Amino acid sequence: MSHYGTGSDAVQSDGSDASSSSYGSQKTVSGHGAPVVSFENVSKHYGSLHAVEGLSLDLRAGETVALLGPNGAGKSTSLDMLLALRKPTSGQIKMFGSDPYHAVKSGRVGAMLQSGGLMPEVTVGELVTLVTTLQPRPEPVEVTLKRAGIAQIADQRVDRLSGGQTQRVRFALAICGKVELLVLDEPTTAMDVETRRLFWDSMKEEVAEGRTLLFATHYLEEADQAADRILVINRGRLLADGTPADIKARAGARRLSFRLDPVPEQFLQGLPALVNLEVRHDLVQIQTSDSDATLYAVLDAGYRPYEIEVTGLGLEQAFLAITAEDDLASGDVRAEARAEETN
């Protein structure tokens, strides 16, 4: 969090509004300021591999937060620790003010992990009913089936479903209680485009009821559209924390390109708001966090570039820029870490 100042404060307004909805007032959703989830300097080491290193973050009630990071960045390990499946080597995790195990057992958290499996030999309806009866505050089974879009396959055997259907059943198991926090790891993997759209539509309903949502994804478009806050994780550390707009700005949100002959490289290096500079023959490509300022500086210095183009960078490029910068700064040990985590 210390890396980028914009971070969490910028998005609080969204979250606070949602938490005061009817659902939130029904029980003690942690009030303003009191985080739903907090990681305090959390590390997880496997021998010499530091899967998570000094991770600190807070989630507040009603926020929709995306966790972004390349494979092996420590996303799954972090979610596992949050859900009491793994214990941190050091540091402290709190959920609703208590330790993760008790928070999970209190039925206030619904979770869907990639590694979670389903009980075979039963029907979808039977399985959802079973997990519903485990909840202290169950939702009606029909409501869950409908929300997850699996009402029409309720009579099918769980072990005979397609990948996308299985994924939706897993989602149903995460929302079959009246939970306050939803944790989803790559929720739309194995879904086709249409199902993915339906999934996010139903997610909007969940969030509108005041739920806090934390999801990991590698579809950056999803993070951009659905999240009001993004956490970028690389090599087990938090690299950036802010709104999608913050993250893009952080990475140098725009690309400015033009032609100029000859190219005054020395001068260009010193341009304001410059993040990255590439020169090929007479073509100059600049990544900048403030394209106006950069361009004005070029013009003010008396240069007259031509074929000027300013394009916005997507979240994907921003994300790649942030993680690449980090890898460069610390020598690329990421590949090694990736290999370990996928084992």
Partner 1 sequence: MRGIFELTRVEIMRLRRNRRYLIFTVGFPVVLYLLLGKQVTSLAYGVSFHAYYMVAMAMFGGFSGALTGNAQRISQERKDGWIRQLRLTPLPANGYVISKIFVSMATTVPSIVIVLLLGRFYGGVNLPVWQFLAIAVTIWFGATIFAALAVAIGYRYLPDQVQPIAIAVYFVFAILGGLLFPIGGGLRKVGELTPTYDAVKIATDVIANTSVSAGLAIGLVVWLLIFIGLATWSVRATAESV
Measured between its terminal Cα atoms, the distance across the chain in Å is: 29
Exactly one of 1, 10, 49, 130 binds partner 1 (CB under 8 A); which one?
A: 130
Q: Between residues 2 and 343, which has the closer beta carbon with respect to partner 1?
A: 343
In the complex with partner 1, the residue whose CB is nearer, 31 or 136, is 136
CA distances from 307 to 94, 239, 256, 287 (A): 54, 35, 10, 16
133 counts as binding partner 1 under rule CB under 8 A? yes
Shortest Cβ distance from residue 193 to partner 1 (Å)? 26
Instruction: Determine if 85 is a binding residue for partner 1 (CB under 8 A).
Output: yes
Longest C-alpha distance within the chain, in Å? 76
What is the rounded CA–CA span in Å between residue 149 and residue 198? 8
Indicate whether 51 belongs to the interface with partner 1 (CB under 8 A).
Answer: no
Q: Does 101 bind partner 1 (CB under 8 A)?
A: yes
| Closest separation in Å from C-beta 36 to partner 1 | 17
Q: Which of 76, 8, 66 lies closest to 44 in space, CA to CA?
A: 76
Is 250 within 8 Å of 318 (Cβ atoms)? yes
Among 55, 83, 297, 337, binds partner 1 (CB under 8 A): 83
Spatial separation of the C-alpha atoms in residues 12 and 43, rounded to whole Å: 26
213 Cα distance to chain centroid: 10
Number of residues that bind partner 1 (CB under 8 A): 33
Pick between residue 107 and residue 305 the one whose CB is nearest to partner 1.
107
Q: Which of 115, 266, 269, 342 binds partner 1 (CB under 8 A)?
A: 115
Decide if 294 contacts 286 (C-beta within 8 A).
yes
Q: Taking contact as CB under 8 A, which single stretch among the options 118-126, 195-203, 215-223, 235-243 is the one that binds partner 1?
A: 118-126
Q: In whole angstroms, what is the distance from residue 1 CA to residue 231 CA?
A: 9
Q: How far is the CB of 190 from partner 1 (least distance, A)?
A: 14
* Nearer CB in complex with partner 1: 136/163: 136
Interface characters, 166-205, with partner 1 (x: CB under 8 A): ----x--xx--x----------------------------
What are the phi and psi torsion angles at 250 (to 5°)? -60, -40
Burial class (CB in 10 A: 0-12, 13-18, 19+), 2: exposed
Strand partners, 50: 45
Q: Where along the sequence are the contacts to partner 1 (CB under 8 A)? A: 83-87, 101, 104-107, 109-111, 113, 115-122, 126, 130-131, 133-136, 170, 173-174, 177
